[in-house]
Structure 1
Amino acid sequence: MASSIRIVGDERLLSYAAGIRAVYASAFAAPPWDEAESMADAYLERLGDDLARPGFVAALVLDGDTVHGFCTAWTTPADFPKDRCHPQVLAALGPQRTRDWLCGAQEIDQLAVHARARGRRLGPALLDAVTAEAADGRSWLLTSIRAETAMDFYQRLGWHQATYPAPRGTGAAVFLGPCHPAAPATAGWGVVRADRPVEDGPARATASRRPQHPVGGERRS
């Protein structure tokens, strides 16, 4: 059976919980994430809460009922979050750019493809499915600078790096989507550089977290 992508934005997503858990565990077990399998259970618990976020949307790659990959996103609120890596993002971009570039935009949280399904361009397809309806092309994410394959993955897909944590650090970089209206400001002298590394936040945040191409896992820091 050929793979298909399904968009889900409500509690029906939880009917695929076992498959999402399997994908998560497979994608994030490898370096640089090295997550214990128990983290997949923790993610499922958080996913139930994420469903209530304004603008929540998820895309699944399915072969019948088998989940091969998933991507989740929601709308960044006007009151910029203070959890996970968000304070470091605010420090790096400053209040004005954070408000103009990120608030009200679509924030990619998780992007993951099971190891068995890599090499089929599922990562790009999932990103396209989730960001297709982003207002004015305003989408963004975070990914760890330790995930060099993920960084390269987004750059090759036309995402624009907007913050530059210290090289060889443990920070997370902000990427703006290919059609984000602020993307031109990230080129040349317009690049915004953080004064200090954007440190990884507590488990679960890229905006989100990782891939391989197709994605092993992308995640939020």
Structure 2
Amino acid sequence: MPVGLTFDAKPGTAAFRSIYAAAFAPPPWHETPDQIEAFADRLASHARTPGFRCDAAYVDGEPAGFVYGFPSPDPWPDDRLYRPIADAVGDLSMLASRFELHEVAVDPRFAGRGVGAALVRRLTAGVGASWLVTAPKAAAAVRLYERLGWRRLREFTVRGETFRLYLSPDS
């Protein structure tokens, strides 16, 4: 674990937003200010989901990264990526009882220092089988998940962009 790394399971939305903007505005994501602002609304909505868990990491007091997730929704939503995931998987029973690692973000200033790995391990500890979606273009994220033992289940395309569905090592 990196020197000076601390955690806060009840971070403020401002810390999450600043980390999200730092992580998703540059390549490969290129998120716009409107997309970054929409994240704050999604986070507020997701925080009301039963079983929601989150954690934020700070390096020497500076917001460095965050992670959050929740048990897979039941019934399965028909929005954003959920419909394409359902189409790619077919049998949703393999995801229905699992924890969804919904968002992982690390400020690029702290990349490569173990922040993402520590956050993923902390959030998924004790939740059992989990899943997540990322894009192959996010090479650092793919390396992180695969190094942590997550295995690729399916690849699918949404509006011309390729995504991968991963299952946790304990799946």
Superposed displacement of residue 146, structure 1: 2.7
Partner in structure 2 of residue 161 of structure 1: 152
**Structure number with larger C-alpha Rg:** 1
Aligned residues: 167
Please say if residues 32 and 147 of structure 1, whose CA atoms lie closer than 8 Å, have aligned partners that are also in contact: yes
Percent of aligned pairs with the same amino acid: 31
Please say if residues 17 and 40 of structure 2, whose CA atoms lie closer than 8 Å, have aligned partners that are also in contact: yes
Superposed displacement of residue 19, structure 1: 1.8
Instruction: Give, as a single letter, the amino acid of the residue that structure 2 aligns with 1:7.
Output: A
Moved over 4 A (4+): none
Please say if residues 85 and 156 of structure 2, whose CA atoms lie closer than 8 Å, have aligned partners that are also in contact: no
Q: TM-score, normalised by structure 1?
A: 0.69
Closer, same or farther in 2 for the Cα pair 1:124/1:51, shift >3 Å? same
1:113 counterpart = 2:106: yes
Distance 1:138 1:59 in 2: 18
| Superposed counterparts of 1:1-221, under 5 Å | 2-8=4-10, 13=11, 16-63=12-59, 66-95=62-91, 98-99=92-93, 101-134=94-127, 137-165=128-156, 170-180=161-171
Q: What residue ranges of structure 1 are gaps of 5+ in the alignment? A: 181-221
Instruction: Give, as a single letter, the amino acid of the residue that structure 2 aligns with 1:37.
Output: P
SS in structure 1 at match of 2:161: coil
Distance 2:106 2:31 in 1: 15
Residues 104-160 of structure 1: per-residue CA shift (max 9 Å, x gap): 2110111011122122100000000110021xx210001123323322321122101
Closer, same or farther in 2 for the Cα pair 1:64/1:151, shift >3 Å? closer
Instruction: Give, as a single letter, the amino acid of the residue that structure 2 aligns with 1:2.
Output: G
Q: What residue ranges of structure 2 are gaps of 5+ in the alignment? A: none
Residues 29-76 of structure 1: per-residue CA shift (max 9 Å, x gap): 121201123432221122111111011010110247532110010111
Structure with the higher fraction of residues in strand conformation: 2
SS in structure 2 at match of 1:80: coil
Distance 1:88 1:176 in 2: 16
